[in-house]
Structure 1
Amino acid sequence: MLLEWEAVFAYASRCAATWREALHETAAHRAGASSGASAREAWADGAETMLGAARAQADAYADQLRELLRTSAALTPDSAPRAAAQRMLRQTERYLACLSPSGAWRAAPGAAVPIGGHTLPPLRYNYNALEPYIDAQTMRIHHDVHHQSYVDGLNKAELALQEARQSGDFALVKHWERELAFNGAGHYLHTLFWNVMSPKGGGEPSGPLAEQLARDFGSAEAFRQQFSAAAEKVEGGGWAILVWSPRSRRLEILQAEKHQNLSQWDAVPLLALDVWEHAYYLKHQNKRAAYIDNWWNVVNWPYVNERYLAARQLQWEPY
C-alpha cells in the first residue's frame, strides 16, 4: 500500500509544481512582464492538472479503503473501526461522483446529485447499535444489500431516461419511469428510515411536534396506536409514514405499498417505518406487530422534530 501511495504522491507533487509555475507566470503578467494570453492558458492547464491529481488521490484512497475492508483482521464485523472505514469510503465515493474525469466539480458540494450519481448514505451508528430491538445481521443486510439495490436501480433508471432524451427514443419510457418511481422512493424512504432511528432513541415526542400530534390525533398515544395499526395492516411490503401536509397544515399518517403505491402528493415525510419482511424477518419471523412494538424504542424523536419544524416553513394556500 505504501508503495502505491508513493507513486500517487509523486504524481501530485509534479502537478503542484506545474501549477506553481503557472501561478508565477500569472503574477508576472500582472506586473506587465509577460503575455496575458499565455499566462492565463498556463494557469488553466496547471489548475486542470492539479484537479486531476486530486481525483487520482481520491481514487487511490478509495481503493485502499476497499482493500482494508476486505482483508484487515482489525476491521471486524460490527466494530466501530469498520463502521468508520465504511463511512469514509462512502464519503469518498460521493466526492468522486461529483467530479468530472479531469477532477473538476460537476456540481458544487450540496447541489444537485449528478444524473446516475446517487450513493448509499452511511449509517450514523454501528450495525449492532439498535440491539436488542433490531439485530445487527438484519441491519447489515438491509442497509448494505437492500438499500444499495435501490440506489443502483435508481441510477440505472436515471441514466436510461437520459439516454432516451438524447436519442429521442422513448419506447421504454413506461418501464424506466416505473423503475425510477420504485427505486427512487425506496432510496429516499430508506435514507429517512436510518435517520429516524438512534441507539439513544425511544421515549416520547416533545416540543412543537408533541403539541402538533396532540392537536391532530388527540394525544401522542392515539397517534402511536394509529401509526402501529397502519404499519401492521400494510398489504405485502411497504411503509407507514407520518407526513406534514403544507396545504392542510396538519399531520397525517399514510401507508405506502412497495415504496410508491398509495402515496399522497403534497406531503413531506417526517417519520417512516419499513414493514417489508427484510426489515424484521430474521429476528421476528412473521411477527410484524412485535417488530413494530420494538421499533418505537429506537425512534429518534429529536430528528423527527427537526424535520417537522423545517416542513412547517412551507406556506401553501389551503384548499
Structure 2
Amino acid sequence: MSLARTALRPALRAGSSAATKAFSTSAARAQYKLPDLPYDFGALEPFISARIMEVHYTKHHQTYVNGLNTTLDTLNSSLSAQSVPELQKTVSLQKALNFHAGGHLNHTLFWENLSPSAKQGGVGGEPPSGKLASEIEKKWGSFENFKKAFNGSLAAIQGSGWSWLVKDGNGELQIVERANQDPVVGPFKPLLGVDAWEHAYYLQYENRKVEYFDAIWNVLNWKTAEKRFEA
C-alpha cells in the first residue's frame, strides 16, 4: 500500500519529464506488485460479488502492474542509450506510463476505499465523521446531497473513468472526474474514488451501472477517507 504514497503519486504529480526520470531511477529496484487486499474476495457481497473482485483484482489490476513494469523497463533502455531515436521512444511512452501507473495507483487507492459492511464486521457503509463530515455538510448541505452529487458525477462519465472526492490546494472539497486511468494529481489530494469502468460491475450488474453506483455506498470505507483528509 505504501507505493501509492511514496512512489507513484509524487512522480506523476511532478509532470511527464520528471515522472520519467523518477520512475526510471527507481526501476532498478524490485518491480511493482499487487498490494495485499485487507479482505477476502467475497467480503463485499452482496454489493460487489466475489467473482467481480477476483477478476478485477487478479486480472485487471494485475494487467496495469505488468504494463507499468514493462514500460519502466523500456524507459530504462531508452534513457541509457541517449540517442535521438531512443529519446523519441521515451517521449512516446509517456502515454503508456500515465495509463499503467495511473491504473495501478487508482486501484490501490480504490481497494483501501472499500470495506465489508458493518453486518460482516467491517466499517463499510458507515457515514463519514469528524471534520470530513463537517466539511461535506458545509459544501453540499448534507451527506445525502453529497451522495446525489457524487452519483451524478459517476453517471455523467462517458465510457470509462473514475469519480473522486478530493481536497484541493486550498483545503476545499471537490468532486472531480477522470477519464480512463488518469490519476488525480496536481493540487488535488484524492480522498475517496469509485471505479466506473465496466469491469468494476458488469459481471454482476450488466448494463445497470446505476444500481452499482447505489450499491457501492454500502461498502465504502470512510475511515480511510478521513485519514487521507486529515493527513
User: 1 CA distance for matches of 2:27 and 2:157?
Assistant: 32
Q: Which residue of 1 aligns with 2:54?
A: 140
Residue from 62, 78, 81 that aligns with 1:167: 81
Deviation at 1:175, TM superposition (A): 2.8
Which residue in the other structure is 2:148 paired with? Answer: 225
Structure 2 counterpart of 1:256, one-letter code: R
Structure 1 residues 256, 275: closer, same or farther in 2, change over 3 A? same
Deviation (angstroms), 1:218: 2.1
1:298 paired with 2:219, answer yes
Equivalent position of 2:200 in the other structure: 279
Query: Does the 8 Å contact 2:125/2:217 carry over to 1?
Result: yes
* TM-score normalized by the length of structure 2: 0.81
2:177 equivalent among 231, 237, 255: 255
RMSD of equivalent CA atoms? 1.6
Give the number of the structure with larger relative contact order, counting CA–CA contacts within 8 Å between residues 6 or more apart: 2
**5+ residue gaps, structure 2:** 1-25, 117-121
Give the percent of matched residue pairs that are identical in Structure 1 and Structure 2.
37
Which residue number in structure 1 is paired with residue 68 of structure 2?
154
CA contact (8 A) 2:150 2:175 kept: yes
**Structure 1 residues 114 and 213 mapped into 2: Cα distance closer, same or farther (>3 Å)?**
farther
Match of 1:122 in 2: 36
Q: Deviations over 1:254-298 (max 9, x none)?
A: 10110118x562111110100100000010001111001000000
Q: How far 1:113 sits from its partner (Å)? A: 7.3
Report the residue type matching 1:258 in the other structure: N
How many pairs were matched up? 197
Alpha-carbon shift at residue 231 of structure 1 (Å): 0.8
TM-score of the two chains, using structure 1 as the length reference: 0.59
TM-superposed CA distance for 1:173, in Å, is 2.2
Q: Give the aligned partner of residue 93 of structure 2.
A: 176
Larger radius of gyration: 1
Structure 2 residue aligned with 1:192 = 109
Name structure 1 gaps, 5 residues minimum.
Answer: 1-111, 311-319
User: How far 1:140 sits from its partner (Å)?
Assistant: 0.2
Tell me, yes or no, if the aligned pair for 1:202 and 1:300 is still in contact at 8 Å. yes
SS for the counterpart of 1:172 is helix
